A = this chain, B = another copy of it.
């Protein structure tokens, strides 16, 4: 029934390639099927103005797409002179989600910027960015610990994200582009390894969704996130 032939509760192949580029403290290529995102985590001693001198750190995210990551070329945001509304919305979501895993006091007065740049898009770029960004963040924090710059571990737990939706009347997990562009409802869910919700964003694209549909999508997301967290841990154990 699904264009890809997947079962309704089946993820695409999920892959995390650490050390994908060489300069960043954390650098991960994350793949959710054909969706490929480079996530780097960069550590800096400069915090945003509102945190100066407060002894706390910050985690923030930026998101971009290469102009031809998509089916048709999308104008380069740097050339247009501003980031679009979708970009702003996504990078705010990634930042909030990752901060939920970090004790900012323990991080100390420094900022980690997680850049998520999509090199190939096939649906789910924001959820892949969160899951991949988390792995890059762990590597950057591990580097800080190895250098002795952090005393306490600032990580609370792990964070992963996945989408669920209603496609042709059926709740399905981890929508790819052909499904996403047809779905009646699209939901992005961010959770931690203890099964707590960090962010839930559901949008009716076609008709409003009923409480039982919401419930079914949440359950699919819970199952998928469990598997993604397992994949993150496996990648981090290498």
* A residues lining the B interface (CB < 8 Å): 21-24, 27, 34, 36, 38, 40, 42, 44, 62, 64, 66-71, 73, 76-79, 81-83, 85-89, 91-92, 96, 100, 113, 115, 117, 119-121, 187, 191-192, 194-204, 207-211, 214, 218
Contact = CB atoms under 8 A, between A and B. Distances in A.
Contacts of A62: 67, 76, 79
A24 B120 CA distance: 10
A76 B92 contact: no
A167 B93 CA distance: 22
A23 B120 contact: yes
12 contacts: A21-B69, A38-B66, A40-B68, A62-B76, A62-B79, A81-B82, A85-B92, A196-B204, A196-B210, A198-B208, A199-B204, A214-B218
Contact of A64 (B78, B92, B199): B78
Copies of this chain, how many?
6
A21 B119 contact: yes
Contacts of A198: 203-204, 208
Given A62-B67, A208-B198, A83 B79 contact: yes
A87 B87 CA distance: 13
A96 B24 CA distance: 31
Contacts of A218: 211, 214
Given A23-B69, A68-B115, A214-B218, 4 more contacts: A67-B115, A191-B208, A199-B204, A201-B201
Contacts of A199: 201-204
User: Which 6 pairs, one residue from A and one from B, show the smallest C-beta to C-beta distance?
Assistant: A196-B208, A77-B78, A40-B68, A42-B73, A200-B202, A24-B68
A86 to B, nearest CB: 8
A197 B216 CA distance: 14
A69 B38 CA distance: 11
A207 B194 CA distance: 11
Contacts of A83: 78-79
Nearest to A203: B199
Contacts of A192: 208
B115 A76 contact: yes
Contacts of A96: 203
A83 B156 CA distance: 33
B92 A87 contact: no
